[in-house]
Amino acid sequence: MVNDEGDCPMKIGIIGAGGMGRSHANQLKQMPDVEITGICDINEERAHALASQVNATVYTDYRDLLSTDIDAVWVCTPDFAHRQPVVAAAEAGKHIFCEKPIAVKMEDADAMVEAVERAGVITMIGYVLRFFPIFATVRNKFASGELGTLVTAWIRRFMPWSPRDWYGDPELSGGIAVDFSTHDIDWLMWIGGDVKAVYARTAAIGTRTDNDMWAILTFANGGTGVVGDSFVASIGGNCFGVIGSEGTAMVEAGSEVQVKKRTQEAVERIAPEGPHPTYAEDAYFIECVRTGAPANPDMAWARNVLRVSLAIRESASTGRVVQLL
């Protein structure tokens, strides 16, 4: 717990001044009693560009940033480069927000979880779908018990895009299942809990890394999860929802949630509103650090999500069901 009286700003450092670092900086700088004091990137020009927007000091070595009096750090480096700054931050006693996925390899995720648990710092992984009002509303309708027991939860997201740079290397990004679909797996597990079995198919169209993925997840507590993501699709769009024994909540397009119990005639239509999802996500973590409350989803949870993502890749490679529990 830091600055619990709110009489001085919480000092924040950001490691990684690329797209996600900029995204978080743009939201954090709007928050009262939060001060971004340091920006770190191995590309000094990129670090300067972001630091100039938030009046922060530039660093090119994250260890130098971590030696300052920051309270918490945002790790926004590429997927394959999370382990070293996270472990170092934990050893320095800094609370850690880390962008998703936790890592690309289980050995890195294990080392990160061990380090933060040993240090006793508060951690959070950037599963921002939880902070979109429509995604949260669908999940909360189920969590309230209104829809009964879980039958099926599904999510499908199409984003026409060509993987490039490090993302196009499966060893660095893990492909669509590890980097992109990690959001969807998290959301499905937020609904259904632990996954005990996975069956999946993937495709790599015009690239070295998987860019189309479909999977069926079997939940340990009962029910099925279905996830389908594609960068190959030439039309973008999302749909997702939950079918329960007593009712359904779903989003077909746009920002309207449809809810209908099996005993009802009419469909309830909800248009939830809320702050920018990244602002809400960051503000939640800031509050957890201020109060000393555990944040969710944390790194231990994210490690379990990674296990499912890697099981998807294994299943697609072998053509077999992968048992996790």
Averaged over 270-284, what is the pLDDT? 97
How many residues are there in the chain? 325
Q: Domain 129-276+306-323 has what CATH class?
A: alpha beta
Greater model confidence, 153 or 254: 153
pLDDT of residue 7: 64
Question: Is 10-127+279-298 a CATH 3.20.20.140 domain?
Answer: no
Per residue in 110-158, pLDDT tens? Answer: 999 999 999 999 999 999 999 999 999 999 999 999 999 999 999 999 9
Percent of the chain residues topping a pLDDT of 70 = 98
Is residue 3 predicted with pLDDT exceeding 60? no
Is residue 184 predicted with pLDDT exceeding 90? yes
Asked if 210 contacts 200 with a C-beta cutoff of 8 angstroms, the reply is: no
Q: Do the strands 123-125 and 95-98 form a parallel or antiparallel pair, or are they unpaired?
A: parallel
Sorted by where each begins, the domain ranges of the chain are 10-127+279-298, 129-276+306-323
- pLDDT bin (cut points 50, 70, 90) of residue 101 is very high
Instruction: Please state the φ and ψ torsions of residue 232, each to the nearest 5 degrees.
Output: -80, -35
Residue whose C-alpha is closest to residue 13's, from 80, 100, 77 = 77
Whole-structure pTM value: 0.96
